[in-house]
Structures are given as structure tokens and as C-alpha cells.
């Protein structure tokens, strides 16, 4: 779920690294990574005076993203229905197995849900994000499955979750997708990782944070790939730098994949693992945050 406050992406990522590692001296090198590189600084200066781009410049990109988002939401509804049916049938092990993979479809396109009013908190709020009387969605059921170890009393929440998933699918057709939403969405997806996933706060009962982590990164990378032709035309060096940072982060994530296509639980990661992932996030967030300026959106 989106953080309730907004900070510049670079500042937020660095501060989370500091909090996650709990060591100021160790966090300093990563903070240094947030300094603007000569390449990016030069590109930003060069493009600062560039005229704003028009919607027509990104027509193909926005249509590609709409198609991608609808595909993910269709899969989200399908997988959420399987999950909620398992919950209602009292099939604890099956429900636990279906939980994280269903959420990945949502985490890839979360900026779309955040543009649709209360749907994001209805689907993805953690305990404490909203009033207890209003708390429902995935994490309410997660608490039942992993902490309370029961599906008793969860049928009502399973039905509401599926209703909200279907409402998201219906409303996505009304979202006005432009290049600004894409650029902001890519940065926000990395902020999502930094503010809750890398700290292990998102999935506090199941510890399936790496599924969300990977899905947020995949969603941001999809936006980068869609905008890649536009970015290459404006600043090929920045495009190359972002591509290399995505590759480096994905390389760090790869060892945590399991043979069944999932990921290890977050409590299996060492402090050094978390520190390395945070540093790679910082290294990616800095050039990615320059895309909007470079593209003129």
C-alpha cells in the first residue's frame, strides 16, 4: 500500500537504508550512491530547457501500458478468486500457497489502483493503516492464516476482497493513463519497495515480502521498457544506465528464488542481504527519478 507521506525518492530510499541497517557508518556508502552522477547531471542540465512533450509523443507507450495493466488485473482477479475460494473452503495450506502469487499481479500495477480512490487501502491496507473497523483485504486474511492459524471468520473478508478485485477491473477502463502517470508510477513502485518491502514490514505475518519486492521491480521495469524508445532518443546514456541498474538488482534477487517458482521468506535474509538489496535499490532509484525531466513530462 502506498505510503501516507511523500518524500523525494532518493531521500526516502536512503533513509530507509539507514533504518533497515541500524548502522549510520554502514549506511553512509549507500547514501553516497544517491549523489547525482556526472552523466545524469549533464543530461538533466541539457534537457532542463527542452520543451514539454505532448501526449501524442507517448500515445504508443500509454496504450502499451494500458494493455499490460489490464492483462495483470485480469490475472489478479482470476488468482484472487482461487485464493478466496480456498479461504472460504477452510483449505489453510492451499490458501497460504495461493496468497503471495495472487498479490504479485496487484503489486505490478499498484499505481493504477492508487489512482482509483479507496481501492488500494481496501485491498492492501496493513493493520494500522486504516481504522480497525475498516480494515479488510489481503492483509486481514494474512493475519488469520499465519498469526491466528485459522480461516474461521474469514469468509466475509474473502468475499469483500474478491468484490474489490472485480471493482478494480471494472474501473481500470476509466483511468486516464498518460506519460506522467507512467514515470511517477515507476518511481512510486520503487518507493513501495523501499518503504515497506525491504524492511520486511509489508508481509508481517507471512514474511512473503520478496514476492511483492520482485513484483514492484517488475512493474517499474515494464514502464522503463515501454518508455525506452523515447528515453533512448533523448538520453541514450541514461537509458543504458537504468537498464544496467535493473540488471544488477535482478541479479541480486535471483538467488532468493525457489525451485517451485516462488521466493524464500524474508526472515531467511541476512542483514548483509538486506543491505545489498537496499544499495541496489538506491543505485536504480537515482537515475530512474531523472526520467520525467529528461522526457519532458
Q: 57 pLDDT band (50/70/90 cuts)? A: confident
Q: What is the mean pLDDT of residues 165-183?
A: 92
Tell me whether residue 18 is in a domain: no
Total domain count, the chain: 1
What digits encode the pLDDT tens for the residues 34-43?
Answer: 344 443 444 4
Domain region containing 261: 58-295
Q: 52 pLDDT band (50/70/90 cuts)? A: low
C-alpha cell at 267: 526472515
In eight-state DSSP terms, residue 41 is H
Tell me whether residue 150 is in a domain: yes
Provide the pLDDT for residue 2: 55
Torsion of CA 99, 101, 103, 104, to 10 degrees: 160
Tell me whether residue 164 is in a domain: yes
Provide the pLDDT for residue 15: 37
Q: Are 185 and 223 in contact (CB under 8 A)?
A: yes
CA neighbor of 68 nearest in space, from 203, 177, 183: 177
pTM value surpassing 0.95? no
Tell me whether residue 22 is in a domain: no
pLDDT above 70: residue 48: no
How many CA atoms lie within 13 Å of 197's alpha carbon, on the beta-carbon side?
Answer: 24
Tell me whether residue 39 is in a domain: no
Q: 5 pLDDT band (50/70/90 cuts)? A: very low
Q: Any idea which of 25-29, 45-49, 154-158, 233-237 has the lowest mean pLDDT?
A: 25-29
In eight-state DSSP terms, residue 269 is S
Tell me whether residue 227 is in a domain: yes
Helix axes 236-253, 271-288, angle to 10 degrees: 160
Helix (H) or strand (E) holding 102, with range, is: helix 92-108
Amino acid at each position: 500500500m502506498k505510503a501516507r507521506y511523500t518524500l523525494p525518492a532518493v531521500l526516502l530510499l536512503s533513509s530507509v537504508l539507514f533504518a533497515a541497517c541500524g548502522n549510520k557508518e554502514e549506511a553512509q556508502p549507500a547514501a553516497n550512491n544517491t549523489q547525482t552522477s556526472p552523466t545524469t547531471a549533464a543530461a538533466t542540465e541539457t534537457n532542463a530547457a527542452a520543451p514539454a512533450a505532448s501526449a501524442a509523443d507517448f500515445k504508443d507507450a500509454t496504450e502499451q501500458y494500458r494493455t499490460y495493466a489490464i492483462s495483470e488485473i485480469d490475472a489478479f482477479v482470476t488468482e484472487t478468486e482461487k485464493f478466496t475460494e480456498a479461504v472460504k473452503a477452510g483449505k489453510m495450506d492451499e490458501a497460504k500457497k495461493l496468497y503471495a502469487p495472487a498479490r504479485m499481479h496487484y503489486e505490478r500495477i499498484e499505481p493504477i489502483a492508487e489512482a482509483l480512490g479507496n481501492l488500494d487501502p481496501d485491498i492492501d491496507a496493513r493493520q494500522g493503516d486504516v481504522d480497525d473497523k475498516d480494515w479488510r483485504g489481503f492483509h486481514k486474511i494474512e493475519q488469520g492464516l499465519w498469526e491466528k492459524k485459522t480461516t474461521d471468520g474469514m469468509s466475509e473478508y474473502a468475499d469483500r476482497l474478491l468484490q474489490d478485485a472485480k471493482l478494480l477491473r471494472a474501473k481500470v477502463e476509466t483511468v486516464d493513463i498518460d506519460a506522467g502517470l507512467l514515470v511517477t508510477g515507476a518511481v512510486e513502485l520503487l518507493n513501495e519497495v523501499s518503504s515497506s518491502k525491504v524492511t520486511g514490514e509489508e508481509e508481517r505475518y507471512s514474511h512473503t515480502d520478496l514476492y511483492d519486492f520482485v513484483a514492484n521491480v517488475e512493474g517499474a521495469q515494464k514502464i522503463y521498457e515501454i518508455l525506452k524508445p523515447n528515453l533512448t532518443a533523448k538520453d541514450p546514456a541514461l537509458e543504458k544506465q537504468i537498464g544496467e541498474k535493473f540488471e544488477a538488482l535482478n541479479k541480486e534477487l535471483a538467488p532468493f528464488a525457489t525451485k517451485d517458482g516462488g521466493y524464500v521468506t524474508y526472515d531467511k535474509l541476512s542483514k548483509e542481504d538486506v543491505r545489498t538489496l537496499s544499495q541496489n535499490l538506491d543505485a536504480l532509484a537515482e537515475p530512474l527519478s531523472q526520467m520525467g525531466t529528461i522526457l519532458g513530462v
